[in-house]
């Protein structure tokens, strides 16, 4: 039997401390007209790629993976599928910031000095991005994804060992359970990370049964993936607010960043209660001290829900360009739904990335 070996091309990035591995080559073109179709195919028939890159010895569950694919929308320069420990979120702020930065700084999308507009297609729809480029480096990325809405309020669940936990349910690219951290004795500082992870795990396991799992336009989304712990909001003047926050990703991951979609969810909840207006901003601060800035946009509608557009601003850093060798004969590699999506042979690094329109 011949030795079965495949190659993946990766760009490792981080935004707010959260690592995103951008897969630029080594995966076969996925069936499906839209990026959402391709994501659902991968989830159903090629989840081995996610498990490989987020599990030892090839990766770590705290990372994320973004696979570059062909976009469907004519405005988009590239599509990307987001993979995390919890599965396949339809949108992510930190992953979008990382993907845009990697595509620009690698030259897959030609970079221009000053403010540069980029459109990427996520499974949830278009992410409209403004990158600030100076001296050949992407200094910051502002991304506007899908509008967020409050799906339900005033919910509660009895969590073993923790008692009754009250929360609101907000969609902002995935469903978030929004929890008042101070009600459970948390200040959202670095020393609490282990305790927050344990609390988040127990909460999500208890809260999942009976919660809605659909979206008016995107359909079934799967069980609750995220819990967002909210610290008190401080008004720092001139329409600017700050708040500590922490996002738990099930199972077992506490984000290093305050998360873009978590920040968007908080903005939607604040807008629902008249606590923030269009043009005003909220800077969220993670337990590790990393920061994103969310800016409230105009109100809109998603199905029957009042929703809010918003933007998230952050920055990403490139950490590594690598060529990963995947030995399908390694007993630590589950190839049951992996081999069918990997290219053979892998495209050379010099070729253009699949799914990227370089004409813009």
Q: Is 48 helix (H, G, I), strand (E, B) or coil?
A: helix
Bridge partners, residue 183, by sequence: none
Please say if 2 is a catalytic residue.
no
Domain ranges of the chain: 5-143+317-341, 148-314
**In the block, residue with structure tokens 């795990």:** 201
Helices (H), the chain: 35-45, 48-53, 93-105, 193-207, 260-272
Q: What is the pLDDT of residue 347?
A: 47
Strands (E), the chain: 5-15, 18-25, 64-69, 78-83, 114-122, 125-134, 137-144, 148-159, 163-171, 175-180, 214-215, 219-220, 226-237, 240-249, 253-254, 281-285, 291-302, 305-314, 317-327
- In 3D space, the residue among 348, 332, 343, 354 whose CA is nearest the CA of residue 52 turns out to be 332
pLDDT of residue 6: 95
All residues at 6 or more sequence positions from 125 whose CB lies less than 8 Å from its CB, including other chains: 91, 145, 146
Q: SS3 for 97?
A: helix
**15, 20, 64, 92: the active-site residue:** 92
CA separation for the pair 196, 336 (Å, rounded): 34
Residue range 148-314, CATH number: 3.10.310.10
* Contact assessment for residue 338 and residue 329, using Cβ atoms and an 8 Å cutoff: no
Picking from 232, 341, 242, 244, the residue whose alpha carbon sits closest to that of residue 286 is 244
Helix axes 93-105, 260-272, angle to 10 degrees: 140
Q: Give the per-residue pLDDT at 344.
A: 75
pLDDT at 212: 78
Q: Do domains 5-143+317-341 and 148-314 have the same CATH topology?
A: yes
Structure-token match 């600017």, residue found: 240
**Structural class in CATH, domain 5-143+317-341:** alpha beta
Q: Are 283 and 293 in contact (CB under 8 A)?
A: yes
Planar angle of CA 275, 152, 313, nearest 5 degrees? 50
pLDDT the model gives residue 360:
53
Q: What is the pLDDT along the chain (360 residues), one digit of tens a residue?
A: 457 899 999 999 999 999 999 999 999 999 999 999 999 999 999 999 999 999 999 999 999 999 999 999 999 999 999 999 999 999 999 999 999 999 999 999 999 999 999 999 999 999 999 999 999 999 999 999 889 999 999 999 999 999 999 999 999 999 999 999 999 999 999 999 999 999 999 999 999 998 978 999 999 999 999 999 999 999 999 999 999 999 999 999 999 999 999 999 999 999 999 999 999 999 999 999 999 999 999 999 999 999 999 999 999 999 999 999 999 999 999 999 999 999 976 445 545 566 777 655
Residue 214 in 3-state DSSP? Answer: strand
């Amino acid at each position: 039997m011949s030795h079965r070996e495949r190659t993946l091309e990766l760009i490792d990035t981080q935004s707010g401390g959260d690592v995103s591995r951008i897969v630029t080559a080594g995966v076969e073109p996925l069936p499906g007209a839209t990026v959402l179709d391709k994501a659902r195919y991968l989830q159903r028939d090629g989840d081995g790629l996610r498990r490989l890159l987020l599990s030892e010895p090839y990766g770590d569950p705290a990372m994320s993976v973004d696979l570059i694919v062909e976009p469907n929308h004519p405005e988009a320069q590239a599509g990307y599928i987001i993979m995390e420990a919890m599965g396949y979120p339809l949108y992510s702020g930190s992953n979008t910031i990382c993907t845009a930065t990697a595509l620009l700084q690698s030259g897959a999308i030609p970079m221009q000095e000053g403010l540069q507009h980029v459109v990427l297609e996520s499974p949830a729809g278009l992410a409209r991005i403004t990158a600030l480029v100076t001296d050949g480096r992407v200094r910051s990325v502002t991304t506007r994804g899908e509008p967020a809405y409050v799906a339900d309020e005033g919910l509660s669940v009895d969590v073993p060992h923790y008692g009754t936990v009250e929360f609101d349910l907000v969609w902002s690219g995935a469903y978030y359970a929004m929890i008042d951290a101070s009600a459970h004795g948390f200040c959202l500082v670095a020393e609490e990370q282990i305790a927050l992870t344990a609390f988040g795990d127990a909460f999500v396991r208890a809260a999942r049964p009976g919660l809605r799992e659909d979206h008016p336009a995107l359909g079934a989304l799967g069980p609750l993936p995220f819990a967002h712990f909210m610290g008190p909001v401080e008004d720092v003047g001139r329409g600017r607010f700050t708040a500590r926050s922490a996002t738990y990703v099930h199972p077992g991951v506490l984000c290093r960043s305050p998360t873009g979609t978590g920040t968007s969810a908080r903005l939607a909840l604040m807008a629902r209660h008249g606590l923030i207006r269009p043009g005003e901003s909220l800077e969220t601060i993670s337990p590790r001290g990393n920061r994103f800035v969310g800016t409230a946009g105009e109100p809109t509608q998603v199905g029957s829900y009042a929703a809010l557009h918003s933007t998230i601003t952050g920055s990403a850093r490139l950490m590594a360009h690598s060529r990963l060798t995947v030995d399908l004969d390694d007993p630590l590699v589950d190839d049951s739904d992996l081999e069918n999506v990997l290219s053979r042979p892998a495209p050379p690094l010099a070729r253009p990335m699949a799914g990227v329109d370089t004409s813009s």
